Structure 1
Amino acid sequence: MRNLFFLCAFLLLAVACKSPEARRPVQRSSGSFIKESAERNKKLYKKEEAIINKIIAQNSDKDFESNPNGFWYFYNVKDTLSTVMPKYGDVVTFTYDVKNLEGTTIVSEKEIGLQQYQVDQSNQELISGIREGLKVMKEGETVTFLFPSYKAFGYYGIEEKLGANVPIQSTITLRSIESSEEN
């Protein structure tokens, strides 16, 4: 009986000292969702780019410029004398509107009101297109931007006003630039 007790104690000790094993996932992901999503987004961008290029071709009287950040713009009011553009940390005051590419107003300048934004430092909820667009402007200029959906409101849109993945145009007027102490 005593041998049986030692045998059981030894087996229990041997089993208890086993190192823990990692649990394996029930379902393994191959990354195909990410690849499919990237392909979908590339197709969407090509489609939106074609629409924007068509608008640019129809408005040959305007001098459109493309930006390496993925949007197009033309100057409504251009300042050819000033060289001051917003830099990191500057506080800019501006107004803007949001329209679809056909020109129908979605959110008016009056609804949005006067905005202030600290360049590249503010957590303000501005779309990336506007944040980047402000950097190509000078004080007093008015610029109309054409943004593909990924630079605009993307997948989320604007509740009850703008659907998902819709490219937009926005006219921005840069009222003032206050240089930060760091510049």
Structure 2
Amino acid sequence: MTNYLYLFFLVLTVAACKSPEARKPVSAKSGSFIDQSVARNIELNEREHAVFEQLMQADTTTKYIASNSGFWYAYQTQVADSLITPQFGDKLTFEYHVTDIAGNTIYSKADLQPQTYIMDKQELFTGLREGLKLMRAGETVTFLFPSQKAYGYYGDENKIGTNVPLICEVTLHSITRSESN
């Protein structure tokens, strides 16, 4: 009887020392949702670029510049004698208004009031943040932002809906350097 008891404990000890085995997934998911989402976003981006191309071709008096960040801009007022552009931490004072691609006002300058913004330390939609970095104090620039550079899929949860490309006219009044710059 004691031999059986020793044998039982020996089998139990050997079984307890077994390394754990990886479990197989219950079901394997394919990347089809992500692939479909990528395809939709590429199509949306191409449609918005085509609309902006038409707008730029129709406006023969304005020279639009393509940014490296995926939007276009044109100077309404350009300041050539200043080399100072906003850097991280600088305090900016600016005003702007927002229209849709049909020219309908979404937010007027009166709605938005002059803004004070600390460069890259406060929230601002991606396109406008990147656009301000291109400006000098005293300049007025018109930006054409595709929806992914504006408010994207979520909109601003107020007047700007899902995937709405925007046109913003921005006037940068002042740049106050931060102490670290």
Taking structure 1 as the reference length, what is the TM-score of the superposition? 0.90
- The residue aligned with 1:73 is 73
1:137 is aligned to 2:125 = no
Give 3-state SS (helix, strand or coil) of 2:87's partner: coil
TM-fit CA distance, 1:127: 0.7
Mapped to 1, the partners of 2:26 and 2:179 lie a distance apart of: 55
Mapped to 1, the partners of 2:24 and 2:48 lie a distance apart of: 42
What are the superposed Cα offsets for residues 90-131 of structure 1, whole Å, 9 maximum, x if unpaired?
A: 2211112221111111122222222222223x1x22111001
- The residue aligned with 1:166 is 164
TM-fit CA distance, 1:153: 0.3
Give 3-state SS (helix, strand or coil) of 1:97's partner: strand
Mapped to 2, the partners of 1:38 and 1:177 lie a distance apart of: 39
Unaligned residue ranges in structure 2 (runs of 5+): none
1:59 is aligned to 2:69 = no
What are the superposed Cα offsets for residues 124-152 of structure 1, whole Å, 9 maximum, x if unpaired?
A: 22111001100111101111111000100
Give 3-state SS (helix, strand or coil) of 2:102's partner: coil
- The residue aligned with 1:86 is 86
Mapped to 1, the partners of 2:31 and 2:125 lie a distance apart of: 28
What are the superposed Cα offsets for residues 40-78 of structure 1, whole Å, 9 maximum, x if unpaired?
A: 211111110000000111111112111111111112222
Taking structure 2 as the reference length, what is the TM-score of the superposition? 0.91
Give 3-state SS (helix, strand or coil) of 1:74's partner: strand
Query: How many equivalent residue pairs?
Result: 181
Give 3-state SS (helix, strand or coil) of 2:180's partner: coil
Deviating above 4 A after TM superposition, structure 1's stretches of 4 or more consecutive aligned residues are none
Alignment of 1:1-183 (within 5 A): 1-120=1-120, 122=121, 124-183=122-181
Unaligned residue ranges in structure 1 (runs of 5+): none
Mapped to 2, the partners of 1:112 and 1:22 lie a distance apart of: 57
RMSD: 1.7
Mapped to 2, the partners of 1:53 and 1:28 lie a distance apart of: 43
Mapped to 1, the partners of 2:38 and 2:50 lie a distance apart of: 18
Mapped to 2, the partners of 1:158 and 1:175 lie a distance apart of: 25
